[in-house]
Amino acid sequence: MKRTTRAVGFWPAALLLPLLALLAPPPCMAAGFADLETQVKQFTLPNGLTVLVLERHDAPVFSFATYVDAGGVNEVAGITGVAHMFEHMAFKGTRTVGTTDVVAETKALDAVDAAFDALFAEREKGEEADSTLLTTLAAVFKQAQDDARKLVVSNDFTKIVEENGVVDLNAGTMMDGTMYYYSLPSNRLELWARLEGDRLTQPVLREFYTERDVVQEERRSQESSPMGRVFSTWWIASFLAHPYGNGLIGHVSDLKAITRHDAETFFREHYMAKNVTLAIVGDVKVSEVQRVVTKYFSGMSDAPKPGPVRTQEPRHEAEIRVTVEEDAQPMVLLGYQIPGISSKDWSAWECLTIVAGQGRSSRLYERLVKLDKTAVQAGSGSGFPGDKYPNMFLAQAIVARGASTDTVETAMRQELDRLAKDGPTAAELQKAKRLTRASFIRGLRANSGLALQLATSQGKQGDWRKLFRYLDGIDKVTADDVRRVAAEAFREGNRSVGVLRKPA
């Protein structure tokens, strides 16, 4: 069984179009699922931890999702990438899992930290750094890491859950939050509570600097293609102030400098009980869940929940354009600033996104791929790179051989302008609503999907019941609503353009 942690919000351009489906409306309630809301039970521990439970006894398994309301958007200059780093650390074990001697390991990890601090301080001197001293300090740092590694039981956390029948052991870091999730047989509920409770109360953050190198390699890999480089540059350029523009993996200089202390600080500031939601769905009883959660999660910090991000993205009044010339397949990106998920117009944007660029019958695909034959792929998405705060609607096209990026960009803009002028047809809007309904039905069939949706709705929006109101908003969207929001957003001053083209 392979466990993969993911920086969900970092999408290299070469993979963006296949992933645009992930930006489609989240699965919610539909006819036939009307009783689900009444089946969800909620309780809150004295420290503020919110727990949601839905009993489903059709199979002897359960799924859980832990949603932490902290992601890349909560990072500040100097520590970008730390949210994703902490997610990696959560699989390294705790004070009781992953070590042969936690007392000795604590001292060894302190020595690693001290050795890195000394090495980094000398490196920061730049040209004035003593090269001989740097060599010595690097050797001391390596030896300290080797000494600490001797006390580690590698992959202990993963091995324990594998031996107990885990399925879909995974995690994901997003701009708006971080999620941990997997499924186990229902007779392993207390084991789950012990392990997850330990991760949220006593993480050790062992092998931090080794894992930091892994994350740096992730960044290099994702930016190794021309499309990836253009996409990341365009993404960061598209935000003038909001931390959505920091990216998610982290700036290279920050990844080289962040420390285990930085990760510990991020944990203290964001992984308190009031900032975390647990959702458990499957063959469990609410009373038993309450017992084990109280036993193993009461040690979480009861500190106040952090406030929302203060920085707001200003209104854009001038087009932003990023143009890169490389000998690679050309690509065009168009982005427009739009409201966040709490906006009254969010449902209209969900429908607009489907009409504009979701599927082979969408406006962009029909025009660029089928009719003009100037693109081999075309699509759109909203909620990029997150949706908790005002974000971007984006459209992308991979240019066909012999076509020009100028021609493709003009056609993309024409199709979006046509939506802003005339809105969708009745048939297009009906199809968008039908696809949304089908999407949520699929999403609620599996315990894991429902647990993820419940935890996300509570953690991101503060009320899991909004999950069951989503479709009401979609049903109320009119063609004029779609036309109106398109007209507000698809203006020249609100547009950010990314172009990858061959050298002249």
**So what's the pLDDT on residue 345?**
96
Burial of 324 (0-12, 13-18, 19+ CB in 10 A): middle
E-only strand ranges, 327-485: 331-338, 375-384, 391-399
Expressed as residue numbers, the domain containing 328 is 320-501
The DSSP H or E segment spanning 295 is helix 286-297
- Examine the fold and report which residue of 136, 151, 166 is the final residue of a domain before the chain moves on: 151
pLDDT in tens, 101-121: 999 999 999 999 999 999 999
Q: Is the pLDDT of residue 14 over 60?
A: no
**Integer CA distances (angstroms), 373 to 219, 369, 390, 405, in order:** 33, 5, 34, 13
Residue partners of 10: CB distance under 8 A and separation at least 6:
222, 232, 247, 248, 249
Structure token pair of residue 366: 């029909």
- Examine the fold and report which residue of 120, 151, 182 is the final residue of a domain before the chain moves on: 151
**So what's the pLDDT on residue 225?**
86
Burial of 89 (0-12, 13-18, 19+ CB in 10 A): buried
**So what's the pLDDT on residue 249?**
86
- Say if 397 falls within a structural domain: yes
**So what's the pLDDT on residue 13?**
39
- Say if 110 falls within a structural domain: yes
SS3 (DSSP) at 44 = strand
- Say if 121 falls within a structural domain: yes
DSSP 241: S
Position 204: which residue type?
V
Residue predicted with more confidence, 166 or 248 = 166
Q: Where residue 356 sits, what CATH number does that domain have?
A: 3.30.830.10
- Cα torsion for 492, 243, 228, 357, to the nearest 10°? -50
Mean pLDDT calculated for residue range 89-111: 93
- Say if 76 falls within a structural domain: no
Report helix angle 131-149 to 102-123, nearest 10. Answer: 160
Mean pLDDT calculated for residue range 431-438: 91
Minimal CA–CA distance to 302: which of 375, 200, 408? 200
**So what's the pLDDT on residue 33?**
60
- Cis omega (within 30 of 0) on the bond before 185? no
DSSP 466: G
**So what's the pLDDT on residue 16?**
46
**So what's the pLDDT on residue 445?**
83
- Say if 441 falls within a structural domain: yes
Place of tokens 């390991």: 105
Number of domains in the chain: 2
- Say if 131 falls within a structural domain: yes
Mean pLDDT calculated for residue range 20-27: 39
**So what's the pLDDT on residue 44?**
98
**So what's the pLDDT on residue 35?**
82
- Say if 137 falls within a structural domain: yes
- Examine the fold and report which residue of 110, 126, 151 is the final residue of a domain before the chain moves on: 151
Beta strand 495-501 pairing with 375-384: unpaired
- Do 263 and 205 touch, CB atoms closer than 8 A? yes
**So what's the pLDDT on residue 89?**
86
CA gap 168, 449 in Å, rounded:
11
pLDDT in tens, 47-73: 999 999 999 999 999 999 999 999 999
Rounded to the nearest integer, the mean pLDDT of the chain is 91
pLDDT band at 6 (very low <50, low <70, confident <90, very high): very low
pLDDT band at 217 (very low <50, low <70, confident <90, very high): confident
Which percentage of the chain shows pLDDT scores above 90?
Answer: 81
Q: Kindly report the pTM of this predicted structure.
A: 0.91
- Say if 358 falls within a structural domain: yes
**So what's the pLDDT on residue 220?**
82
pLDDT in tens, 354-386: 999 999 999 999 999 999 999 999 999 999 999
